[in-house]
């Protein structure tokens, strides 16, 4: 199980060097990073991220080595092509809130769409109640060429002006999705 410090280490110069070493080989092995003298924890974090990049993430995103995940956030993430198609439903020049941003796949697709042809920074707010999800959205967006600084707030507590459009994925609880409006998280109300 990862904690914030694991992802902060991955974003550090030393973590980035180790991750780059794994990425350049397209695989992960103890020998490939042994010269970096990593702790057992750091080795484990790299191994887990490499497993994601060579496994489920390959089916989710086009460049799986450019993303960081937790197991749950990877399982819950939108497929990149679905996120990009959905982003096209939003007119350019509007303000968008991506509720429950997770690891940032939808936020990044929205940012990409909202900046197409304009070269301007998109008017995009990403929010999530999880501190880890917010950090991953920030890290992953940076790796994709965008600077998204999510707000850590429960969706139910977020202030969303009437002038902003809302992107909110279907319910994605770890116990499974639901289409029952009275059992969703965040709640329907």
3-state secondary structure string across 79-136: CHHHHHHHHCCCCCCCEEEEECCCCCHHHHHHHHHHHCCCCCCCCEEEEECCHHHHHH
Q: What is the mean pLDDT of residues 161-170?
A: 87
User: What separation in angstroms does the CA of 147 have from each of 76, 104, 122, 136, 169?
Assistant: 22, 11, 10, 12, 21
pLDDT for 183 beyond 70: no
Q: How confident is the model at residue 121 (pLDDT cuts 50, 70, 90)?
A: low
d(CA 142, CA 89): 24
pLDDT computed for residue 115 by the predictor: 87
Q: What is the mean pLDDT of residues 97-113?
A: 95
> Tens of pLDDT along 49-63?
989 998 999 999 999
pLDDT computed for residue 119 by the predictor: 62
Are 2 and 129 a contacting pair, CB within 8 Å? Answer: no
> Tens of pLDDT along 7-58?
999 999 988 888 887 777 655 666 666 777 888 888 889 889 989 998 999 9
d(CA 178, CA 165): 23
pLDDT computed for residue 180 by the predictor: 65
d(CA 70, CA 79): 15
Q: How confident is the model at residue 143 (pLDDT cuts 50, 70, 90)?
A: very high
Are 58 and 64 a contacting pair, CB within 8 Å? Answer: yes
Class of domain 76-183: alpha beta
Domain boundaries, the chain: 4-54, 76-183
Answer whether the bond into residue 145 is a cis peptide, omega within 30°. Answer: no
Q: What is the mean pLDDT of residues 81-103?
A: 93
Q: How confident is the model at residue 93 (pLDDT cuts 50, 70, 90)?
A: confident
Q: What is the mean pLDDT of residues 167-182?
A: 64
Tokens for 42? 């750091």
């Amino acid at each position: 199980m990862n904690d914030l410090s694991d992802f902060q280490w991955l974003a550090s110069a030393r973590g980035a060097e180790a991750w780059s070493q794994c990425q350049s080989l397209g695989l992960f092995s103890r020998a490939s990073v042994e010269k970096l003298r990593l702790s057992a924890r750091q080795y484990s974090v790299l191994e887990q991220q490499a497993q994601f990049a060579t496994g489920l993430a390959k089916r989710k995103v086009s460049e799986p080595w450019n993303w960081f995940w937790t197991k749950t956030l990877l399982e819950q993430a939108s497929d990149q092509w679905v996120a990009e198609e959905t982003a096209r439903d939003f007119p350019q020049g509007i303000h968008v809130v991506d509720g429950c941003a997770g690891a940032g796949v939808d936020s990044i697709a929205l940012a990409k769409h909202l900046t197409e042809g304009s070269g301007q920074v998109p008017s995009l707010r990403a929010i999530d109640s999880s501190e880890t999800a917010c950090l991953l959205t920030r890290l992953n967006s940076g790796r994709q060429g965008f600077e998204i600084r999510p707000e850590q707030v429960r969706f139910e507590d977020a202030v969303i002006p009437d002038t902003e459009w809302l992107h909110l994925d279907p319910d994605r609880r770890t116990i499974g999705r639901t289409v029952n409006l009275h059992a969703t998280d965040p709640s329907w109300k």
